[in-house]
Structure 1
Amino acid sequence: MLKAFRVTAILEGISYLLLFSITMPLKHWAQILEPNLVVGYAHGGLFILYVLLAVVLSWERKWGFKRFMILFIASLLPFGTFYADKKYLKVADLSISG
């Protein structure tokens, strides 16, 4: 489950960056709406999945409310999910594997 969450975190972060750096400028400056629609839906689905998996993992692993809030806030910040993956999720994954 942790590996699935890590993959979701990375994909959510990528979709967030694509949304702000490519598709929103296309929408507002070039009036090209389709990329923003597609990436927006993908990002929305990944965001919901990310939050649901954060809740499940926080509950399952007894991480506590503080770690859940860090993971949640990371999903709201550009590059936040990449930071959370490196600082919290990779370490948790290594402690399970090793």
Structure 2
Amino acid sequence: MLKQLNTNIGRLRLLALLEGLSLIALVFIAMPVKYIFNDPSWVKAIGPVHGVLFLLFVVNTISAGIELRWKFSETTWKVLLACIIPFGTFYVDKKILSRY
């Protein structure tokens, strides 16, 4: 696993996993706690973490796209779109990123 962190694609795959997991925590844990128990503290804690992971995913996608010479119209836009669609990072990791 540590060997993969030395490459852009390895870091991108890790970020895809972490970003997806943070979204799951935000949607299925923090938001229900906020609206059912009137306690926004979970959203205040998990929300910024998810936001940072989202931004890191976008930056690393662009970096990996440049390094691997992805055509924007074929690959890069699909990976970028994955971080906007809920749980899309899991899909793009399996279908696109695992090939590299």
**TM-score, normalization: structure 2?**
0.87
Structure 2 residue 22 is matched with structure 1 residue 20: no
List structure 1 segments (4+ residues) > 2 angstroms apart after TM superposition: none
The size of the alignment, in residue pairs, is: 92
Who is 1:79 aligned against? 87
3-state secondary structure, aligned to 1:76: coil
Who is 1:36 aligned against? 43
3-state secondary structure, aligned to 2:83: helix
Structure 2 residue 76 is matched with structure 1 residue 68: yes
RMSD: 0.9
Q: Whose helix proportion is higher, 1 or 2?
A: 1
3-state secondary structure, aligned to 2:30: helix
User: Given residue 34 of structure 2, which amino acid in structure 1 is its aligned partner?
Assistant: K
Question: Which consecutive unaligned segments of at least 5 residues does structure 1 have?
Answer: 93-98
Distance 2:35 2:81 in 1: 27
Question: Which consecutive unaligned segments of at least 5 residues does structure 2 have?
Answer: 1-7
Who is 2:9 aligned against? 2
Q: Choose the corresponding residue for 2:57, options 42, 50, 56.
A: 50
- For residue 28 of structure 1, report the CA deviation from its aligned partner: 1.6
- For residue 77 of structure 1, report the CA deviation from its aligned partner: 1.5
Superimposed CA distance per residue, residues 23-63 of structure 1 (whole angstroms, 9 cap, x where no aligned partner): 01111221111111111011000000000000111111111
User: Given residue 91 of structure 1, which amino acid in structure 2 is its aligned partner?
Assistant: R
Distance 2:69 2:32 in 1: 41
- For residue 19 of structure 1, report the CA deviation from its aligned partner: 0.8
3-state secondary structure, aligned to 2:39: coil
